């Protein structure tokens, strides 16, 4: 499916955090799509109108950018442009929670991707006492159940990334068991993945299948990067991860992506 991304080179408008934005742009380019970052209310409607996907990431949210997220998201909806949500830190603070609530009320998302804590918040099952550093584990909640519930509640493809990744939509479930623990030792792999999902769904192909394939591509890249650079340290691992994404093919995803669709 990455071949379709490389063929169509969708333009992906990102309203994203300033911590990982450069990695997000490079990851989107690496899979063959094209990123454009724009977050001002005066600009976002016009930029989204020339894009094939919109990615909203609340990592470093503020009043100015939240307003832009809603304006861009509603514009994308009216133009039938798919919108991806990365609810960074949902469950960790009231402001993040209120913002996620507001986004879910105002914007119809094609895909929502988060870790288990964030998705459990959206599902209404999150423990508020856990911080962002102590993510919920599969012992706290079943990712398949949470993903199915979030999908039913929002109408979006729900993707929960963790030790094993889960994608759910309309009762369909995909599980991806590639990826490597090294990915949690650098910042931004989640944000990069959300950007990459934007590129995959920006092709216009089925969002459930494309989201699962995007995650499998990232998981395969994580395994390849670990093989190549895991022993050197996290700086080299990060470079190798982008290298692996930029040389990713459908064959490699099939071989190493460990994607099962039920």
- Buried b / exposed e over 45-76, threshold 16 CB at 10 Å, is bebbeebbbbbbbbbebeeebbebbbbbbbbb
Site string for a second copy, 140-179 (x = CB under 8 A): ----------------------------------------
Of the ranges 88-96, 141-149, 165-173, 207-215, which one interacts with a second copy (CB under 8 A)?
88-96
Applying CB under 8 A, the site for a second copy has a residue count of 60
Choice between 149 and 252, CB closer to a second copy: 252
Residue 188 binding a second copy, by CB under 8 A:
yes
Residues 204-243 that bind a second copy (CB under 8 A): 232-236, 238-243
Residue 250 binding a second copy, by CB under 8 A:
no
The angle formed by the CA atoms of residues 124, 126 and 132, to the nearest 5 degrees, is 135
> What minimum distance in Å lies between the beta carbon of 196 and a second copy?
13
Contact residues for a second copy, defined by CB under 8 A: 9, 11, 17-23, 25-26, 29-30, 34-40, 42-43, 46-47, 50-51, 59-64, 89, 92-96, 131-133, 185-188, 232-236, 238-247
């Amino acid at each position: 499916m990455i071949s379709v991304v490389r063929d169509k080179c969708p333009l992906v408008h990102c309203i994203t955090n300033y911590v990982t934005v450069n990695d997000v742009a490079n990851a989107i380019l690496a899979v063959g799509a094209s990123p454009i970052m724009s977050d001002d209310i005066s600009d976002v409607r016009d930029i989204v109108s020339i894009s094939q996907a919109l990615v909203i990431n609340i990592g470093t949210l503020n009043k100015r950018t939240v307003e832009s997220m809603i304006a861009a998201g509603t514009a994308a909806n009216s133009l039938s442009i798919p919108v991806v949500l990365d609810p960074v830190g949902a469950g960790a603070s009231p402001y993040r929670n209120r913002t996620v609530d507001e986004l879910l009320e105002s914007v119809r998302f094609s895909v929502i991707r988060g870790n288990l804590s964030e998705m459990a918040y959206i599902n209404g099952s999150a423990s508020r006492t856990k911080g962002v550093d102590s993510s919920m584990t599969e012992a706290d909640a079943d990712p398949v159940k949470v993903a199915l519930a979030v999908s039913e509640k929002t109408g979006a493809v729900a993707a929960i990334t963790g030790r094993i990744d889960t994608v759910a939509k309309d009762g369909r479930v995909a599980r991806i068991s590639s990826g490597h623990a090294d990915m949690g030792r650098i910042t931004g792999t989640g944000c990069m993945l959300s950007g990459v999902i934007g590129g995959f769904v920006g092709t216009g192909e089925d969002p459930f299948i494309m989201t699962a394939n995007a995650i499998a591509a990232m998981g395969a890249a994580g395994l390849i990067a670990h093989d190549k650079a895991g022993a050197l340290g996290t700086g080299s691992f990060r470079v190798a991860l982008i290298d692996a994404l930029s040389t990713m093919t459908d064959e490699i995803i099939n071989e190493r992506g460990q994607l099962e669709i039920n």
